[in-house]
Amino acid sequence: MAAPDQSFPNYLTTVNASNFVSVKLSGNKRSNNYPSWKRQILCLIEATDLVRFINGTIPNPAADSVTWRTDRVVLGWILGSLSDSVLRMVAHLDSDTARDVWVELDKKFGEANNTAPPRPQVPQAVETEYEEQLPLLLRLIRREKWEAAKEYINNHPGAIRDQKTENLDTCLHLLAVSANKPYALDFFRFLSDKMTEHAWQAQNILGDTALHTAVRTGNDLATKFLLDECCDLMHVRNNDDELPIHLATQCTKEGSIWLLLRKMGNVVDNKTGFQLLCLAIEAEHFDVARGLIDANPELVYLELRDGTSILQKLALKDTTGRKRFSLWECFLSAKNKNSSVHHSKKNDHVLLVESLFECLKRSSSSKTIQIYKDAMLTAVENRSEIIVNEINRIFNDNQIEFSKLEDAYGNTPLHLVARLSPSHKLNLVSGAALQMQREIQWFKEVEKMCNDVYITERINLFEETPDMIFTYEHQQLKVDGERWMKDTANSCTIAAALIATVVFAAAITVPGGTESSNGYPLFSRKSAFLIFAVSDAMSLFTSTTSLLMFLSILTSRYAEQDFLYALPKRLCIGLIALFMSIFFMTVAFSVTLYLVFGREKGWILIPVAALACFPVTSFLRQQSPLLVDVIYNTYCLRIFKQKKTIR
């Protein structure tokens, strides 16, 4: 065992633990964050070479020794990263070395205590054993024996307040989980006549009231009932300083959010409103966030502790994207100008952005301009088209130079857009090659917006130019794009070669054979034979064209700039030519059936035409989304537009 250092490492007192540990151990077993907390605190302890203080390789240090002082530092890091409720759990320990606290936390929140399956999967024996340990009233409620529970309460009124689980849950907490059933609601009403104000606000070990529990489980009926009976519950905070409405914004259901907002009315202060706004955006409840901004426009000027504005946070959560449409949907939209393709409703995110800019435009102070500048850098890096377009228009109106923007590390907008897109934006485009194309398009568009011929040569604090960052960040995407393009070309080359072979052979051995005297086809005087000849020739020419296009893709150099136009153009031509060759080959085959086997009977065309539609429509249905993407991204897409002012 290595002896401890003889002198105290003074550098430990300068270590900022918050740089390593960004989360506090909450103690909430439903949303257990112990694994992520443990990983972060371990990184800090391992980085400072102090693992021996938590793994048991050194004995308990003597007081006032150098080892004891070092142990105090490690213990301080651990305790400083705990929430108030968890801190109270370890306060009772007789020995309070870093290892003792570490072991106690692992016992309470480690895998063995937090990986239990959900209740429906719990074995009946275990479930029964748990219920048998509960006080009688709670046991009756859990087993939904309502009449027996009512009789027990009539005989023991104090049980409503006194009987609790090991987590200090009262009967209200248990009812808040199951009160979506008619009988449970009826029991809730029975309790309301016997409850005191103190009993309504009873909190469990996490500081949660029954309203917290109802909101957390998404029980709208229980939430409404509790608010009607004791509206003060919505102002009670738990051990993590969370109001019930804070928990509501973290749930997928929005019913409880609107219910609580209507009850709170104008009572929401700026601090609470800002917390709600951030949580609503984080959970993508954009309509709720818009309601908060409309009710209190001052929220848009507030910032998080790290200086992040709401506009920046919204740019990080931009979920807008172009929906992929098939050729059939595009055809229908061209016939119907009021269709959703051309006139789709603005989603909640877009409406929230509009509300946000409406509020910001009421002020032209230096703070507002700074919000725009910071948000512009964030929006460019996170590919938020709508925010970039609107702020760019504001910059033009206020004569602000886009190329002069820089972050704390000297990164210009071009440096930031050179980084790889967030995955949720990158995945909007199908195929690695088209994703690479979109990345280059963004880079080129931002370069145009900068309007500075030297912008590509500017370096940041790390002495990196935008081109250097782009090449480094997109190395893997470029490799994946090359592989995707070659795989696609290989598959289509085989199909095109087969079609060319078949239609060439069909041209040599014409339907029905030839006349022995002069070698002319027997059906040469039939009008249907002319259709066969033209279709066969068109199929041969288009399949050959497709084959050549895909071969040129296979032999391309695959430079970064090739992904912008050259490769997508060849892919587009190859796919269109391949589709045409399939179509004409099917027509030629159908005409052959009509001439040779149908003996020119008209009725044979009906089943032949019906069956011929299958291969054509199958190819069209499967490949048209890709074809539409290639055409749109290559020839139609313009990321930044001069848009009208949002009203």
pLDDT score, position 3? 43
- Asked if 68 and 148 sit in the same domain, the reply is no
Of 110, 145, 166, the position where a domain reaches its end is 110
Q: Please count the structural domains in the chain.
A: 3
pLDDT score, position 439? 93
Q: Would residue 35 count as lying in a domain?
A: yes
Q: Would residue 536 count as lying in a domain?
A: yes
Q: Would residue 190 count as lying in a domain?
A: yes
pLDDT score, position 522? 67
In tens, the pLDDT along 616-634 reads 777 777 777 888 888 888 8
Calculate the alpha carbon distances from 428 to 339, 450, 470, 630 in Å.
22, 26, 20, 13
- Asked if 105 and 162 sit in the same domain, the reply is no
Measured CA to CA, the distance from residue 332 to residue 338 in angstroms comes to 10
pLDDT score, position 584? 92
Determine the structural domain holding residue 552 and report its residue range: 480-636
Of 233, 250, 265, the position where a domain reaches its end is 265
pLDDT score, position 127? 40
Calculate the alpha carbon distances from 197 to 192, 215, 230, 232, 510 in Å.
10, 20, 8, 9, 95
Of 236, 265, 294, the position where a domain reaches its end is 265
- To which residue do tokens 């004569």 refer? 399
HSE-CB at 513 with a 13 A cutoff on CA atoms is: 3
Q: Would residue 647 count as lying in a domain?
A: no
CATH label of the domain that carries residue 160: 1.25.40.20
Question: Which residues have CB under 8 Å from 228's CB, separation 6+?
Answer: none
pLDDT score, position 519? 65
Cα 206 to chain centroid, rounded? 29
pLDDT score, position 83? 81
pLDDT score, position 130? 44
Burial status of residue 588 (CB atoms within 10 A of its CB: 0-12, 13-18, 19 or more): buried
- Asked if 523 and 574 sit in the same domain, the reply is yes
pLDDT score, position 267? 53
- Asked if 624 and 487 sit in the same domain, the reply is yes
- Asked if 97 and 157 sit in the same domain, the reply is no
Calculate the alpha carbon distances from 337 to 323, 327, 342 in Å.
17, 16, 7
Burial status of residue 489 (CB atoms within 10 A of its CB: 0-12, 13-18, 19 or more): buried
- Asked if 88 and 162 sit in the same domain, the reply is no
HSE-CB at 527 with a 13 A cutoff on CA atoms is: 1
- Asked if 627 and 485 sit in the same domain, the reply is yes
- Asked if 70 and 184 sit in the same domain, the reply is no
pLDDT score, position 623? 76
- Asked if 80 and 210 sit in the same domain, the reply is no
Measured CA to CA, the distance from residue 581 to residue 494 in angstroms comes to 13
- Asked if 64 and 172 sit in the same domain, the reply is no
Cα 416 to chain centroid, rounded? 21
> Which residues sit opposite 514 in a β-bridge?
521
- Asked if 211 and 64 sit in the same domain, the reply is no
Q: Would residue 589 count as lying in a domain?
A: yes
Yes or no: say if 639 and 441 are a contact pair by the CB < 8 Å rule. yes
In tens, the pLDDT along 566-577 reads 999 999 999 999
Q: Using CA atoms of 242, 246, 250, 255 in order, give the dihedral in degrees to the nearest 10.
A: 140
Task: Enumerate residue ranges in the chain where pLDDT < 70.
Answer: 1-11, 13-14, 19, 28-31, 64, 92-95, 111-134, 162, 179-183, 252-253, 265-268, 319-347, 512-519, 521-525, 598-602, 640-647
